[in-house]
C-alpha cells in the first residue's frame, strides 16, 4: 500500500487564511504598516489557478494563495504567497515563481508582492530570485523568502505573533523526525505556549488546530497525548472558573474530527459497509433459522422415534404375555391329560406342543402329591 503523507501545505494555507493579518505583520511588516485592514482581504486562489493551470498541471497551484488588500492610500495591492514544503529544494520552483508573477502582472497590472515560505531543512542561499540571461538579454526576478531552518528558536519564543509559534511548530517537526518522544514533549510545549500568549479565541483555535495537524504522533502516542491534554486543561476548570479554553477547544475539535471521519467513512465506504452488514445479518438470520428448523426437526424425529420404539416395545410385551399365557395353558392342558388319560408323557408333549422335560416334571409333581 502506498504511504500517504500529511498535507502540510494545506494546513499552512488554512492558517494563513484564518490569521491573514498576523501572517502579513510577521512575514511582510512593511506592507502591513501601510495596509488598510478595515477594507478586509479578498482571496483570489481560484483565479490564480486559472491563470497558471495550463502551465503547471497536477495541482501545484493549490497550495499557493493570491490575496488582494487595499493600502491606506486607497490603491489595491496583490500579495502572492507560495508554500514550498518539499524537503529537497527544486530549482524549477524559482522559475515557477517568475511565471506566477508575470501572468498575474499581465492580467492585473497592479502592484504585486511575492512571498515564498520554505518549511524544509535544506534551502540554498539564492532561494529568493530567478535569473535568466541569453545573448545580452537578462532578467532578474527577486521576491521575499522566509526559511524556517534559519529562524532562531529563542527569538520565536519571545515573539508574541501567532505565526512565530507556527514557525516554531515547523522547526520542531523537522527536528523530531526520528524522535517521537521528543516530538510528544514539543507538542505539549506548543499547546502550553498557546495558552499563555493571551491571544483571541480565534487565534488560539487556529493555532491549536494547526499544531495538532502538523505535529503528528504515532497512533498510540496520539491517544495518550489527547488524554493528557484533556485531563490537564480540564482540571483547570472549577465551579467559579469556566472550562479552560484549551480543553473546550480540544473536546469540540476531537468530536468534530470523529464526526467528520465517520462522515468520510460513510461517503467512501457506505455502500460497502451496508452490503457487509446486510450479509452479516443475513448469515446470522440464516444461522438462527437453521438452528430453529434443526431443533424442530430433531424434536419431531425424536418424537417419531420414541413413538416407534414405544409401539415396538408394546408389541414385544404383548407377544411375550401371549406366549406366556399360551405356555401356561398348554402346561395346564398337559396336566389334565396326565391325570385323566393313559397317554404316555411323550404323547402328551406332542399333543400340547411342549417339551418332554416339562411333561416329565409335571408327572413327577403329580406323583408327589
List, for residues 3-58, the tens digit of each pLDDT value: 546 678 888 888 999 999 999 999 999 999 999 999 899 888 888 888 776 665 55
Whether 193 maps to a domain, the answer reads yes
Are 188 and 328 in a shared domain? Answer: no
In a domain, 22, yes or no: yes
Residue 315 in domain:
no
Residues 213 and 348 in one domain: no
Instruction: Give the residue with greater pLDDT, 113 vs 2.
Output: 113
| Same domain flag for 37 and 186 | yes
How many angstroms separate the CA atoms of 311 and 317, rounded?
A: 10
Q: What percent of the chain has pLDDT over 90?
A: 22
Place 268 in a pLDDT band, splitting at 50, 70 and 90. low
Domain boundaries, position 136: 8-223
Task: Examine the domain organization and report whether 339 and 218 are in the same domain.
Answer: no
pLDDT tier for residue 2 given thresholds of 50, 70 and 90: very low
| Strand bridging mode 129-134 / 111-118 | unpaired
Same domain, 134 and 25: yes
Judgement on whether residues 12 and 141 belong to the same structural domain of the protein: yes
251 in any annotated domain: no
Name the domain boundary from 223, 246, 262. 223
Same domain for 57 and 189? yes
Lowest mean pLDDT among 131-140, 150-159, 229-238, 328-337: 229-238
- Three-state SS at 354: coil
Backbone angles phi, psi at 199, to 5 degrees: -80, 175
CB atoms near residue 42 (< 10 Å): 13
Same-domain check for residues 327 and 195? no
State yes or no: pLDDT of 167 exceeds 80: yes
Q: Answer yes or no: do 30 and 151 share one domain.
A: yes
Q: Note the pLDDT of residue 180.
A: 92
- Of 65, 52, 63, the closest CA to residue 24 belongs to 65
Asked if the structure places residue 141 within a domain, the reply is yes
State residue 171's pLDDT score. Answer: 92
Strongest mean pLDDT among 21-30, 68-77, 89-98, 349-358: 21-30
Domain presence at residue 328: yes
Is the model's pLDDT at 87 over the cut of 70? no
Same domain, 216 and 329: no
C-alpha cell at 111: 502592484
Contact indicator for 155, 165 with CB cutoff of 8 Å = no
- Concatenating the DSSP letter of every residue in 142-211 gives E-EEEEGGGS-HHHHHH---HHHHHHHHHHHHHHTTT-HHHHHHHHHHHHHHHHHT---HHHHHHHHHHH
* Res. 183: pLDDT tops 90: yes
Among 113-122, 141-150, 267-276, 339-348, whose mean pLDDT is lowest? 267-276
Q: 199, 223, 247: which is the final residue of a domain?
A: 223
Which of 206, 223, 240 represents a domain boundary (last residue)? 223
Q: What contacts 184, CB < 8 A, 6 or more positions away?
A: 217, 221, 224, 225
In this prediction, residue 363 carries a pLDDT of 86
Total domains in the chain come to 2
Same domain flag for 342 and 196: no
**Can you read off the three cell numbers belonging to residue 79?**
500579495
Alpha carbon separation from 111 to 1, 41, 70, 126 (Å, rounded): 47, 15, 11, 23
CA 71 to chain centroid, in Å, comes to: 46
d(CA 367, CA 369): 5
Q: Is position 263 within any domain?
A: no
User: Which carries the bigger pLDDT value, residue 321 or residue 256?
Assistant: 321
Chain centroid offset of residue 298 CA:
46
Answer yes or no: is 233 within a domain: no
Question: Which pLDDT score is estimated for 269?
Answer: 62
Question: What Å distances lie between residue 23 and 29, 66, 115, 166, 220, CA to CA?
Answer: 9, 14, 11, 10, 34
Check the CA dihedral 168-174-178-180 and report its sign. positive
| Mean pLDDT of all residues belonging to the chain | 82
The pLDDT of residue 241 is 39
| Residue 165 pLDDT > 90 | yes
Q: pTM for the full model? A: 0.64
Q: Are residues 215 and 332 in the same domain?
A: no
- Judged against a pLDDT cut of 70, whether residue 86 lies above it is answered with no
- Confidence label for 267 from pLDDT (cuts 50, 70 and 90): low
Q: What is the pLDDT of residues 121-162, one digit of tens each?
A: 888 888 889 999 999 999 999 999 999 989 999 999 999 999
The arithmetic mean of pLDDT across residues 97-111, rounded, is 84
Amino acid at each position: 500500500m502506498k504511504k500517504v503523507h500529511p498535507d502540510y501545505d494545506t494546513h499552512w494555507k488554512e492558517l494563513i487564511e484564518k490569521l491573514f493579518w498576523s501572517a502579513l505583520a510577521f512575514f511582510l511588516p512593511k506592507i502591513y504598516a501601510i495596509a488598510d485592514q478595515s477594507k478586509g482581504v479578498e482571496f483570489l486562489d481560484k483565479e490564480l489557478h486559472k491563470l497558471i493551470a495550463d502551465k503547471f498541471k497536477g495541482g501545484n497551484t493549490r497550495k499557493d494563495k493570491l490575496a488582494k488588500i487595499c493600502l491606506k492610500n486607497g490603491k489595491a495591492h496583490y500579495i502572492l504567497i507560495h508554500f514550498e514544503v518539499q524537503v529537497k529544494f527544486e530549482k524549477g520552483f524559482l522559475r515557477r515563481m517568475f511565471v506566477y508573477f508575470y501572468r498575474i502582472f499581465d492580467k492585473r497590472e497592479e502592484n504585486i508582492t511575492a512571498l515564498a515560505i520554505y518549511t524544509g531543512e535544506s534551502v540554498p542561499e539564492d532561494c529568493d530570485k530567478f535569473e535568466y540571461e541569453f545573448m545580452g538579454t537578462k532578467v532578474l526576478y527577486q521576491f521575499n523568502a522566509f526559511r524556517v531552518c534559519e529562524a532562531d528558536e529563542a527569538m520565536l519564543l519571545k515573539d508574541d505573533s501567532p505565526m512565530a509559534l507556527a514557525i516554531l511548530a515547523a522547526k520542531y517537526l523537522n527536528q523530531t523526525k526520528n524522535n517521537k518522544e521528543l516530538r510528544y514533549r514539543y507538542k505539549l510545549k506548543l499547546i502550553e505556549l498557546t495558552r499563555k500568549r493571551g491571544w483571541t479565541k480565534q487565534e488560539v483555535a487556529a493555532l491549536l488546530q494547526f499544531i495538532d495537524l502538523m505535529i503528528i504522533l504515532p497512533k498510540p502516542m496520539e491517544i495518550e497525548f489527547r488524554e493528557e491534554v484533556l485531563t490537564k486543561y480540564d482540571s483547570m476548570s472549577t465551579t467559579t472558573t469556566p472550562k479552560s479554553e484549551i480543553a473546550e477547544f480540544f473536546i469540540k475539535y476531537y468530536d468534530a474530527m470523529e464526526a467528520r471521519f465517520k462522515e468520510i467513512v460513510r461517503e467512501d465506504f457506505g455502500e460497502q459497509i451496508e452490503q457487509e452488514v446486510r450479509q452479516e445479518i443475513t448469515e446470522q438470520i440464516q444461522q438462527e433459522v437453521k438452528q430453529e428448523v434443526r431443533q424442530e426437526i430433531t424434536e419431531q424425529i425424536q418424537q417419531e422415534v420414541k413413538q416407534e420404539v414405544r409401539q415396538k416395545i408394546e408389541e414385544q410385551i404383548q407377544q411375550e404375555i401371549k406366549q406366556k399365557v399360551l405356555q401356561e395353558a398348554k402346561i395346564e392342558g398337559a396336566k389334565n391329560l396326565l391325570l385323566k388319560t393313559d397317554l404316555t408323557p411323550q404323547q402328551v408333549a406332542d399333543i400340547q406342543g411342549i417339551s418332554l422335560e416339562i411333561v416329565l416334571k409335571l408327572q413327577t409333581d403329580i406323583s408327589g402329591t
